[in-house]
Structures are given as structure tokens and as C-alpha cells.
Amino acid sequence: MSRLPFHLLFFMGLAAGPVVVDPATGIVTPDFLASEQLFYEQLAKPHFSSQQMEYIDGASSTVLRNPYSILHSGLDELFVASFTLNHVVRLRWMTGKRAQYKVFASGKELDGPVGMALHRGALFIASFTNDLVLRVNATSGELLGRIGSDETLDCPEGIAIGPDGVLYVASFLLPHLSMFDPESGAYLGKFGASAGTSVAFASTKTPGPSLRGAEDLTFDLLGDVHVTAYYSNAIFKFNGTNGQIVSSYGKGFVNGPVGITCDRASGHIFVSSYKDHKVLRFSPLGQFIGVAAGAPMEQQRKLGDPNAPIRNPSGLAFAEDGTLWVASYPTGAITRFNNSAATGRTWRVVD
């Protein structure tokens, strides 16, 4: 409650629309009018654009289909989780316009791979269907262990290692995150469990905003946690120290939020808006900044356009060189955007 005046001041000063402050919880939800949204849309020309296309040697849609998430490991290597093919592909690119691939992790226990994280030489992969996070050797792909169970996870998707070295897992069917020790796999409890709980206020109980359809999470520069909620059509921000919900934002801007990542250079939060083919940019306080990449309004109307840079974006990741990588779920394209110039390029699989 003591933080309330600060939030009110901030959002009234900077946001385009009114805010909704839940009187019981003090949770702030920035709210925008339809006309203001349109204004923002028109203002917000994509900041990044892509031009050329490049190819992955030998890869076809039978190798790289339905990419859900992207993970960089070093300057010339990235992992892509292929949701429907149940494997993780490692791409290494070479000078020029080529990259090589290797099916890096697969097997019976990898059933619907989604989120990935690297920690101390191990690659963690969320396996959606069987409620597990697999831990594999990041060099060899050898299976090292299994984390979680159907009691602690329920369709795990996004994962991340926090600044505290803890593994955080977002489950699509749980209204909170789950925490694990990444080395031993020990379950450490729920995180962000305040989302959706009823809060006693006067003689009534007021429900807080409910996190539904958690997809992905990222830590901002202050260590707070941002979670995309597909069915809530919003992003939930939790205090990284105590797990309390701070705000929910993005309502009216995101349309089916899936991937989320923090740009370490600007501190801004980038969110893929799956249903309207865009990547949106927010301040860590939830203020909408603009469309980072994706189809402008006119282009969206003729989405058959093969040059549309991204289509139903899922995973997002910044590389060490500051470029933003976006996975397009239905087309299998991995598009790279240069923040500072129109020199983006798209890696595509070809049949």
C-alpha cells in the first residue's frame, strides 16, 4: 500500500491512459483507450527491420519446425527448440550466408521442448508434455538429469536462471512460477503465488489479476521478474526479492504474448505478440515504448506476403552483439534484427 502513490504519480505522468489501481492489493494495471492505442500504433513504426535472407545448410522443415524458443551460447552458436519435432537443434553459423545445424538433444523424455537456459555448462530444456525440465551437457547433449514432476510443474514453458542462481520455471497451467535448485533439482517452492489470490479487504474479498497461460519469463536489470500470460493478454511483474506481484501491464497492446526478454543494454522488456505478428517494447515499469519489429498495420492485412519479416513470433533472444533474434512459429524462420541499422537478416529453412 505504501508504494501506491508512487505508482499513481508515475503512470499519470507518463502513460497515455488512465490506470486501474486495485484498492485492496495496490496492484496497478495501466489501462489504455482504443483511440490512444491507435495513436500509439501509428506512432510506433517498427524500429528494427530485416532485409536479406540467409540459409541453414541442409536444414529443412523436417529438422527445424515450429521453433518455440531461441538461446544464444556464444557469438556463433544458438539453440532452437522445435516444439513439434521434439528436439533441440544447435546452429553454428559460418562467415557468409550459411549456418550449419546439428540435432543436439532429443529422445523419449523430450516431449514438446519449449524454454531453455544455460548454467555452468548445462543446458536446461523444459519439456511441456511430461512436466519435466531436462538437464543436458551443453557441449555433448548427454542427459544429466531430470527436474520437476507433475506435482511441481504443469506444462512447463519458459525457464530462466535468476540472479540468485535459482532455476525459475513458468508452467502454462499454473498461476505462479516454480523454483528449483538447478544442480540438485530440489524443488524450492512457488514464486509469485500472489497472482490471482483473493485479498481480504473490508468485508469483501477482491480477486487480484489472475495470471493465466504463463508462457515465458525474464529478469529485468533490477532482478524483478516479468512473465507473459497468454490468456490474460498481459505481462505480470513480480518483485524478484519476495515474489509479490508489482503490476500487470501490456493490456490492449499485446495480443497473445508469448516470448519475453530483457535487453541488457537498454533495460527494456521485449515481448512477442503472437497473434498480431509484432514484437513490442516496454519499459521495465510497463510503459509501452513502441513496436520493435514486425508487420506494420498495412502489411498485416496481407499476411500471405512471404517477405513479412515475422509471423506469429514465439521466442525472443538478444545476442551478445545486441541483435534481436525472433522465432516465427509457423514458418520456422529465425529472424535477426539489428537495433541500430536496417541490416537484419532472416535464417530460413528451405524444402
Ligand X SMILES: *[C@@H]1O[C@H](CO)[C@@H](O)[C@H](O)[C@H]1NC(C)=O
**Interface positions with ligand X (CB under 6 A):** 121-122, 137, 139-140, 144, 224, 239, 241-242, 246, 321, 323, 338, 340-341, 343
What is the spatial distance between Cα 215 and Cα 228, in angstroms, rounded to a whole number?
A: 5
Work out how close the CB of 188 gets to ligand X at its nearest, in angstroms, rounded to a whole number.
18
CB of 185 to ligand X, least distance (A): 14
- Beta strands 50-56; 344-348: pairing state: parallel
Q: Is 315 helix (H, G, I), strand (E, B) or coil?
A: strand
Residue number, 179 or 258, with CB nearest to ligand X: 179
CB of residue 135 vs ligand X: minimum separation in angstroms? 9
CA distance 331 to 86: 17
Three-class HEC string of 89-120: EEEEECCCCEEEEEEEECCCCCCCEEEEEEEC
Grid coordinates given for 46: 517498427
Cα gap 252→36, rounded to integer Å = 10
* Least distance from ligand X to the Cβ atom of residue 341, Å: 3
> From the CB of 241, what's the least distance to ligand X, in Å?
4
* 28, 7 Cβ separation under 8 angstroms: yes
Q: Which is nearer to ligand X, 150 or 320 (CB)?
A: 320
Which residue, 4 or 289, has its beta carbon nearer to ligand X? 4
The residue (of 266 and 343) whose beta carbon lies closer to ligand X is 343
Q: Which is nearer to ligand X, 244 or 300 (CB)?
A: 244
At residue 189, the 3 state secondary structure works out as strand
